[in-house]
Amino acid sequence: MQFLCLHGAIGNIDNLSIQLAPLQEDLARDCAASFHYINGLVQIKPPQGTNIPFPPPVSGQKELKANIWSYTGFEEYFGAGPHYRWAEDGGVAEESMISRVRKIPVGQNPEDVMRDLAGDREVVWKNHVQVMQYLYDTLEKNPDIGGIIGYSEGASIAATFILDEQRRQEETGRERRIKCAMFVTGWPPINPGKGIVLADQDDDLIDVPTLHVVGANDPFRHGAYALYDVCDPDTATLFDTGKGHTIPRSGLVINELGDAVRDLIAKSEEES
């Protein structure tokens, strides 16, 4: 199966392909899967010279390591440019979200955390129609694509697209192309008219098999769990790397993740 791969905010094809290279090599051993990468539509620059303190520790741990907050500045994390993101929100989201994520109350469920993070700020997605059409056009040009992989913001975009495909099938009978998805440290889908899609307040459910790669040390992990909650519990699988807001790149975890992707593909073939 070929997967369409969507990078995170302030990312690009080169950086994501480097991050996914070990997994891609593992899946290539038995020709289980191949990857197709595209850039987001919005070109941006990483914040310059920003010193980021550690977030509050996970319960039972003294400090967090191996996540984006351990860097002294964003430049080292995001790599060489040009950089892109998917959703055009006027640039209002980043700083408010960074400040709020360090104040997440302990013990809340993922949906409550997402509501706290969003606050009373209106969800703005100016280029929603353009992004969805860009993904449809990409599928038309690449008929072998049957799955989707999204990292961070790319996971939210991928989830949003799956729901859009579901809607189009119901309204027009158009055959759906995406049969399964892997979400890496992602957030829930977005309804441009309502905001973040959450399991306890929305009827939308992602019904294709999904694999959710999460990190116990990820300060954004509540978003990944909220995304898991809007997927079919019968075909959704959690894969905890024990790391942070990163993609696994070495060790036994790569072989285990590769096998998890193979299981994901097998589930999608059973469903179709």
What is the domain-level CATH number for residue 77?
3.40.50.1820
Domain holding 242, by residue range, is 2-271
Helices 221-229, 110-118: inter-axial angle, 10-degree rounding: 120
Does the annotation count 152 as an active-site position?
Answer: yes
- Band (pLDDT 50/70/90 cuts) for residue 65 is very low
Report the alpha-carbon distance of residue 204 to residue 77 in Å, rounded.
34
Residue 107 is predicted with a pLDDT of 56
- Band (pLDDT 50/70/90 cuts) for residue 89 is confident
Q: Which residues of 140-174 are buried (b: 16+ CB within 10 A; e: fewer)?
A: eeeeebbbbbbbbbbbbbbbbbbbbbbeeeeeeee
- Band (pLDDT 50/70/90 cuts) for residue 112 is confident
152 touches 183 (CB < 8 A): no
Mean pLDDT of 50-70: 39
Q: How many domains does the chain have?
A: 1
Residue 26 is predicted with a pLDDT of 95
Report the alpha-carbon distance of residue 156 to residue 165 in Å, rounded.
14
| Annotated catalytic residue, options 96, 99, 152, 272 | 152
**Residue type for 33, please?**
A
- Among the residue ranges 39-48, 129-138, 145-154, 263-272, the one predicted with the least confidence is 39-48
Mean pLDDT of 114-137: 86
Residue with tokens 């590769």: 258
Count the alpha carbons within 13 Å of 5 in the hemisphere toward its beta carbon: 23
Give every strand in the sheet of 145-151, ordered side by side. Answer: 34-38, 2-6, 145-151, 180-184, 210-214, 236-240
Select the more confidently predicted residue: 250 or 112: 112
Q: Which of 69, 95, 72, 7 is nearest to 43 (CA)?
A: 7
Tokens at residue 87, please?
A: 């959703």
pTM, full prediction:
0.85
Query: How many CB atoms lie under 10 A from the CB of residue 266?
Result: 13
pLDDT tens for 90-102 read: 655 444 444 445 5
Report the alpha-carbon distance of residue 235 to residue 152 in Å, rounded.
21
